[in-house]
Each structure stands twice: as C-alpha cells, then as structure tokens.
Structure 1
Amino acid sequence: MTGRRDGLMRSSSNHSFRMSRIVIAIAIGVVLGFIFAFLYPNGLFRSDPPTSGRRLSKSDLQMASSDCESSERISMLKADIIALKEKNAELKKQLRELSQKLLSAEQRKDNAETEFLPLVQQSKAGAFGTVKASRTNPNVAPDGSVNPRLAKILEEVAVKKEIIVALANSNVKDMLEVWYTSIKKVGISNFLVVALDDEIYSFCKSNNVPVYKRDPDEGVDSIGRTGGNHAVSGLKFRILREFLQLGYSVLLSDVDIVYLQNPFDHLHRDSDVESMTDGHDNRTAYGFNDVFDEPAMGWARYAHTMRIWVYNSGFFYMRPTVPSIELLDRVASRLAREPKSWDQAVFNEELFFPSHPGYDGLHASKRTMDYYLFMNSKVLFKTVRKDANLRKLKPVVIHVNYHPEKLARMQAVFEYYVNGKQDALDSFPDGSQ
C-alpha cells in the first residue's frame, strides 16, 4: 500500500509539473504577443498598402515625384550614353582616315626620296680626319616681285650681288656723314642708305650718296622718324628681309662705324651669318671653357661651361639663305612681341640657343670675324692704342659701339688712321666718362 501510494503521489506531482510548464509557456506567448503588437502595430512583414481608398500624404507625393525624376534622369543618361557612343564611333572613323592619310603621305615621301636620291651626288665618307661638312647653305631663288623699285636700285648699286646697307634718320645725321665719307675714301661703291625720314633722303641725294626711301608704312615709319638708336636698330631685321629675298648678300652696318679698308676683301662667305664680335681677346671673341664653382656640391662642385661674347648686331654679313631669312623673321617677331627687349640680345639668343624641349633652335651656320680687322672700340681704346706693334695694324672697320661719345671718337679714329694724326686717340679714356 505504501508503494502504490508513493507511485500515485509521484504521478500526480509529474502531472502538476507539466501543467505548470504549459501555463508558463502560454504566459510567455501572451507577453511576447503584447510586445510585438506594441512594437509592430502594422505587422512584422508589412507591405505598403495600396493607395486606392486612402488619401496620399505629402511624403507620399514627394516619393512619387522623386521616382518620376529618377526615371527621367535615367532616360537622359541613356540618351547621353548613346550620343557619346555615336561620337566615339565618329572619332574612331576620323582617326582611321587620318592614319590612312598619314600613311599615304609617308609613302609619297619615301617615293620622292627614292626618286630624288639618285639625282644627288653621293659620296662615301673619307678616311679618318679628312671628313668636312659643308656649312654653306644654298642661296634662295631671287624674287623680284617682292620690291621691284628696290630691285632696280640694287641692280645699279650692288657689286657681285653684295651691298653694304645702313639705316638712318635725322638723329644720326652727323655720324652718317663721317660714315659715308670714310666709305668713299676707301673707294667702296656698293653701299646704300635706307632713309627713314625725308631729311636724310634729301641729305643723301645732295651729297651723291646712294639712298632708298621705303614706301609709306605707318607702323615702321613712325619709329624710323623719331626713334632712338635701339628702336631704329630693331627695324633693320624687318627691312633687310627684302634684300635677301631679292637674292643679295647684305653687310649690315650701323652708322657709328669708320671704314678703313674694303670689307668685301676680307669676308669668308662660308656661313649664313658672319658677324663682328663684342669680344676683346681670343677667349671672349672665339669662345672658352668657363668653370662654374659650387662648393655645396662637394666632389661635383666644378661645372664646365662654354662661353662666348655676343655678336654685334650692328655689323654682320648675311647671305641670302633660308636660315638667314628665318633668323630675321624670328628676331623681328620677338621684338614685335617684346618691345622692351634689346635687339642685340634677341639676335644672339635666336642665333645661338640650341633646340630643347618646347623650342626649336635655328639651324644657321655662323662665323666670328677677326676682332683685330673688324674692331670694336673697346679693343681699340683699351688695348691697341697702347701697344706699339698693334698701333701699326690697319683694321678694316672700327665700330664705336662701347662708348657714348660716338661722333667725337669716330672723328678721332678718322684723323688717326686716315689723316695720320698720331695723337688723335690719346685724349680719350679707356671707357666712358
């Protein structure tokens, strides 16, 4: 009895325990239901209700408008993509056409070279030490239509297609007189004055000096009539072009120069440009190795440089070649763009600067004149007049370019070398006062 009673009691206890677990589970379910009902009143997996049968809120309208704009934007982007694809196809087509044209041009060039080479005399390179390149570019074909009036004057005045040319206005009248007097004294006939105003034109005519007055050019003539030395000097690069186009070699001369011999007897004519130098000895005139010292570089502190003193743009011989004409064009163009630039600096930069990134240098051959024959006034007054042996030399020309009192020194040079006055140069200082 006791065992049965214990079994019934255990069975009743187990049943009560199961009932308690069910009640607890129901209670937890009810509590969770209340919580989800509170947190998610519209359901956990709701979908937007249909708009029909209810009023649209402001936010609904904004969302609808945004959807429309996005659709329009997508349509526009698609249209742009289609247009870009079409443009890209067109560019590809043009590129193919250009490539074909370039290929065709290269083929024609190759054919032309193939046909031309047999016409050119070719030779093999000689033995070591015997090879010498030519520096003499061919002359351009004369074009008389450039300036028929000037062409007629040059036919009468030039000798062997060569001529001395000087530009002058009334500001340099006195120096011009010494200039042409020395030329006539030597017996030079092939020289010409480009008169920049009416006074100089009349002055030359009355003194039997070959003269040429250009046709009116307001931009040039205003400078020519009233400009100073530098302004007038800049004009020559434009004016000389016509002389070269007509097929004449030009010896350009400033008027602050005294002639003692005929310069055409002392030219080499092997280069496009043959110029007087501002140098005063062999190093400065013909070039030298100058060492730049930068101690901060240590072992590499010494950098070797090549230097040469500039060519004088007031006295140079120019043959009628393409590089010569290109030089005139380059200098004239730069002076027009840079009115404050000094023509001599521009002249040398265009003549000497090599090709480098962003710049194509001028391929012109050049020669430096003998500085004892074609002498500047620094060489004369600082060196030559103080040396007994050098005083015996007779230069071809003397250019008073280093001194401001030009007329007085020109007259003294004329007295010393032409009239034999031995003390004519003694009163002047080496430099300017």
Structure 2
Amino acid sequence: MMAKSPNGRGSQRTVWLVLLGGQALVAVAIVLLVRNRPGSSQVQPIDGLGGLAHDRDALLHEADMLQRRIHDWRRRATAADVHVDLDLGQDNAGAGSAGARFRGDLGDGTAASATVGSSNSLAVGGGGSASSGAEAGSSSGTCDPNGHPVTTVAPIDPQYLMRPAAEVEAENPEFAALLKKHSNDKQEIMLGLANAVMICQNATVCWWNGGNILESFLEILERSNISNHLIGVTDEETGGYLTERAHKKGPGAFAINWFTPNVKIPESQANTREANRVSSLKFSLLQTSLQLGYHTMITDMDLVYLSDPFDALKRDADIESSSDGFDAMAYGAMTSISDATMGWGGGGLYMQTFTINVGCAFIRATHRAFAVVKRAADELAAQPGWDQQVFNTHLLTQSHGPYASPYATLRVMDIDKFVNSKRFFRSNRAAYIPGADATAPVPVMVHFNYHPDKHARMVCIMDRYFRGKVDACDKFPGGSEPGTR
C-alpha cells in the first residue's frame, strides 16, 4: 500500500521502503537524510532544529543530530544482519574519506546498495577541535537491542589531530607533489629512508662487510613492481649513487623515486646511533604524508618483498604492521602467574604480546593513527630513544589515570606472510628449510631484523624466490651462531 503525503499524493519514498524491505532500510534512510540536508534541492528542516539556520552553533547542533541518526540506523542495520560499511567519520583525512556505503541482500538474493558521497566526516565541537564519527556524541547515547546504553569514546586531544591537508600542502609543496605523482590509486605510498651506511662502500661509515643493502632493495622494488614508492635520501653520497645508477640503467629502466627531505633531525638524536637519527626523520616525514591524506607504508631496507605488499593488506585498522613475534605471541597469548604465598588467591592471568615492527608498517591517514605517530615523534624530538620502543609504548599502553590512549586500532600482519628472520630461519624452520621440502607458503616479505648478517640472508632469499635456487638459504644456521637451529 502506498502511504499518502500531506498534500494528498502518494509517497514514493514509502513505496521504496516497502519494495526494498527492511534490509535496505538503512540505505534509503541515509539517502533521505542527505536529501533533507540544507542546501539540497528538496530542503526540509531537520527534526528538532526548527528551521534552516546557518549560524555556527546551529550547524554544530545539526551535525550532532545527524551523527546520532546515522549511528541509530547503523545499529538497527547491524541487528538485522545487514552489512554496513560506514566510512563517514571513520577516516576524515580529506581525500581518504569516500563516503558512506551500505550493502544488503534482498529476499531474492540480489544486492541492494546506496552510496552517499562525503567530502569529509562530520565534526562536532569547538575551539578548533574535531572528532571522527566514532568519537562524536555524548555519554547519554542511544539504546542497543538489548536495552543497554551505548556510550562513545571522548574526542582525541586537539593537539594530536591532523591539520587541514591544504595547509600542510602549502608548507610542503614539493613533497605533496611527489606523493601525488607516485602514490597508487588508493592514495597509498611506500616510504623509506636511505643513507651511505646501506651502500656500505665508504669505510668511514661502514667498517664491516655489510654488503650493499640499498642496491638489493632497489632490485626488490623492481622485481616486485612496487612503483608507488618514495625513498628519502639523507646524504650526498647516496644521492650521487642513485643518480649514477639511473644514468647507467638508462631511460627505459624501472624508475627509482627518490628525493632529499627538507627536514632536520632533532637535536636530541644528534649523538645517538645512526639508525635512531634516521628513524626520527622517518616520523617527521610520516606526519606530513598522513596529514596530506596518504596512507603510508613505512619500510626498512633490510627486507625482501617477494610480491607487492599492498596486494596483501586488509585495510581494516588504523595501523597494520608486521611483528617481531615468531609464534602465537605475535597476536597476543593469555598466560598466568601463581604466587604460593597468596594461597588460593595467588593466581592471575595476563596477556603477552610482541611489539610490532615499524620497519614494515602500513599506517592509514586517520586521526587515531596520526595521534600515535605524533606522540612518538614528539617524544623522540624531546629526548633520545629507540623509535620502535617509543612507538609501541604509545600504541599499546592502555588508558589509565590521567593518561588517555590514542585508541588506534591495530592489525598484526600474518607472521607467515610478513615473516621475520627468526620465524623463517629458527622458530618455524622446518616449514621453510630445506627449500626443496618447504611446506610454508611463499612469503610476501621477509625481514632480517633478528640476524646481523642481513645482506647475505637477503641475497639467499632473492636467489631462492627470484632466481629459483631452492637451496640458497639451507646453509644458514637458525641463530647467529654456527650450528644453531
């Protein structure tokens, strides 16, 4: 039956609700909401606003109401087993916000969908603060199906929110242009840093037989066809090496995209290890790329990508990273303690997990991910530190007392796809070695974070998987000492 509108004509909107059914309700509802927004061709007041005010307070109030109504629709759709992919408010990095998408199946098995574009997520608040859709709202909330109130997390501290992309681009036009030119169609970029230590031809900076890690990494980029990359070069020797290399390769060769960062290493890291100085620079560049709206895969060069890592990403978390874990503890393992002096109350459970490795980490351009990066960068700028330890501290420490976590979501990459060298050569050795009898799948990446003979093991992986020498890694011991397994 067609419902009647106030002017006596049948309501086509009600007909569509009947035809599409409850599973498509959320799709139609969001379309109606957008059509009723001020400025649309069929403008009507939002319930409770009493008009189409354009002053700041009224618009903020309207945004709050819109968020609540979207939240309510999403809750009901989820309860009805309708898949809801709601980007609105989840990723407000500018170009990264595509809109809200709702998908459901009709009774006959066909798909019903609606897409509502959004140039940015809704923000509620004042004083320059902004919050994503997951953060907006108040403790009063709404009710979920079982009657319990739904509360929301407080907004991020404004000092850790990303600045407008246009403002950041105006301050970094060259870097912004490089990101735009070399990122893929999802605005994703691989970002690494290189210096003369990685070339290991200058005895002043490389006094051990470390091998030319940079050259191997460049071959890896070409072999795996990772064209959406940028390499920041930190010294003239490395820049000269890349320039001469490109000249020798000729114009038809795989292009290596490199630049010289216009960023200073913090004074706090001046007298620390070279790796720490490079890492502090990495976080400075990462802050800029995220604020410009580019989802960034930070990479070290002592690793081998055997295929394009972007093809293996899940993209369902703020941060998706490889792990230093080499067993189930990479994902988190429950364990216990027992204190006999406490009698029957002496037991306790706790969770153990390995730190993630920021030598291969995909960081999405969201406020939550940025907050972790900025906190780590601020700490490294203020005092010496190991970037991995500092980053993990801010990512994994839970809120307590006056400390508020950034609440960034984390996905740990599959440890048999994004493999560290201890997993490959030691803890799961039987699945990889000997190569002729390997049962493990071909990795996406192998990272030599556990072994000092990095380059030699890099070459064996390249020989095995790129050149078909299946026994190339069989001679290497499991640990760093001969004879270890």
TM-score, normalised by the number of residues in structure 1: 0.69
Aligned to 2:308: 262
Contact 1:182/1:259, CA 8 A, preserved across alignment: yes
Q: Give the superposition deviation at 1:210.
A: 0.8
Contact 1:165/1:251, CA 8 A, preserved across alignment: yes
Aligned partner of 1:158 among 183, 186, 190: 183
Contact 2:268/2:380, CA 8 A, preserved across alignment: no
Aligned to 1:33: none
CA distance in 1, matches of 2:194, 2:330: 28
Aligned partner of 2:423 among 360, 367, 379: 379
CA distance in 1, matches of 2:313, 2:275: 26
After TM superposition, the structure 1 stretch with the greater mean CA deviation from structure 2, 169-178 or 376-385, is 376-385
Contact 2:196/2:238, CA 8 A, preserved across alignment: yes
Secondary structure, aligned partner of 1:145: helix
Secondary structure, aligned partner of 2:478: coil
Aligned to 2:370: 325
Q: Give the superposition deviation at 1:229.
A: 2.1
Aligned to 1:187: 225
1:415 aligns with 2:463: yes
After TM superposition, the structure 1 stretch with the greater mean CA deviation from structure 2, 422-431 or 360-369, is 422-431
Amino acid in the other structure paired with 1:305: Y
Q: Give the superposition deviation at 1:371.
A: 0.7
CA distance in 2, matches of 1:394, 1:309: 23
CA distance in 2, matches of 1:109, 1:299: 61
Amino acid in the other structure paired with 1:399: H
Structure that is richer in helix per residue: 1
Is the alpha carbon distance of 1:300 and 1:221 closer, same or farther for their aligned partners in structure 2, counting shifts above 3 Å?
A: closer
Secondary structure, aligned partner of 2:315: coil
The CA deviation string for residues 268-322 of structure 1, in whole angstroms up to 9 with x for no partner, is 11111100011112x2121111102221111111110012111011110011111
After TM superposition, the structure 1 stretch with the greater mean CA deviation from structure 2, 140-149 or 250-259, is 140-149
CA distance in 1, matches of 2:426, 2:86: 37
Amino acid in the other structure paired with 1:127: A
Aligned to 1:402: 450
Is the alpha carbon distance of 1:302 and 1:321 closer, same or farther for their aligned partners in structure 2, counting shifts above 3 Å?
A: same
Is the alpha carbon distance of 1:293 and 1:337 closer, same or farther for their aligned partners in structure 2, counting shifts above 3 Å?
A: farther
The CA deviation string for residues 23-76 of structure 1, in whole angstroms up to 9 with x for no partner, is xxxxxxxxxxxxxxxxxxxxxxxxxxxxxxxxxxxxxxxxxxxxxxxxxxxxxx
Is the alpha carbon distance of 1:223 and 1:193 closer, same or farther for their aligned partners in structure 2, counting shifts above 3 Å?
A: farther
| Cα RMSD for the two superposed structures | 2.8
Larger Rg: 1
Aligned to 1:305: 350
1:169 aligns with 2:195: yes
1:426 aligns with 2:474: yes
Q: Which has the higher contact order (CA 8 A, sep 6+)?
A: 1
Q: Give the superposition deviation at 1:130.
A: 8.0
Residue-pair matches, total: 323
Aligned partner of 1:291 among 336, 339, 342: 336
Secondary structure, aligned partner of 2:79: coil
Q: Give the superposition deviation at 1:381.
A: 0.3
Identity %: 33
Aligned partner of 1:365 among 402, 409, 433: 409
Is the alpha carbon distance of 1:133 and 1:177 closer, same or farther for their aligned partners in structure 2, counting shifts above 3 Å?
A: same
Aligned to 2:93: 140
1:9-408 to 2 correspondences below 5 Å: 114-120=61-67, 121=70, 122-123=72-73, 124-125=75-76, 126-127=78-79, 137-141=90-94, 142-143=165-166, 144-160=169-185, 161-173=187-199, 174-208=212-246, 209-215=256-262, 217=264, 219=266, 227-281=273-327, 283-339=328-384, 341-387=385-431, 390-408=438-456
Q: Give the superposition deviation at 1:170.
A: 0.4
After TM superposition, the structure 1 stretch with the greater mean CA deviation from structure 2, 134-143 or 283-292, is 134-143
Amino acid in the other structure paired with 1:164: M
Contact 1:272/1:319, CA 8 A, preserved across alignment: yes
Contact 1:205/1:211, CA 8 A, preserved across alignment: no
TM-score, normalised by the number of residues in structure 2: 0.62
Q: Give the superposition deviation at 1:139.
A: 3.6
- Structure 2: which 5+ runs fail to align? 1-54, 95-164, 200-211, 247-255
After TM superposition, the structure 1 stretch with the greater mean CA deviation from structure 2, 314-323 or 211-220, is 211-220
Contact 1:374/1:398, CA 8 A, preserved across alignment: yes
Q: Give the superposition deviation at 1:133.
A: 9.7
Q: Give the superposition deviation at 1:384.
A: 4.4
Secondary structure, aligned partner of 1:324: helix
CA distance in 1, matches of 2:224, 2:459: 16
CA distance in 1, matches of 2:398, 2:453: 36
Is the alpha carbon distance of 1:228 and 1:222 closer, same or farther for their aligned partners in structure 2, counting shifts above 3 Å?
A: same
CA distance in 2, matches of 1:292, 1:221: 39
Q: Give the superposition deviation at 1:227.
A: 4.8
CA distance in 2, matches of 1:330, 1:358: 15
Q: Give the superposition deviation at 1:164.
A: 0.8
CA distance in 2, matches of 1:218, 1:383: 37
Is the alpha carbon distance of 1:410 and 1:205 closer, same or farther for their aligned partners in structure 2, counting shifts above 3 Å?
A: same
Amino acid in the other structure paired with 1:240: L
Contact 2:263/2:284, CA 8 A, preserved across alignment: no
CA distance in 2, matches of 1:205, 1:238: 25
CA distance in 2, matches of 1:286, 1:109: 45
Q: Give the superposition deviation at 1:131.
A: 9.3
Q: Give the superposition deviation at 1:263.
A: 0.6
Is the alpha carbon distance of 1:356 and 1:216 closer, same or farther for their aligned partners in structure 2, counting shifts above 3 Å?
A: closer
Q: Give the superposition deviation at 1:250.
A: 0.7
Aligned to 2:106: none
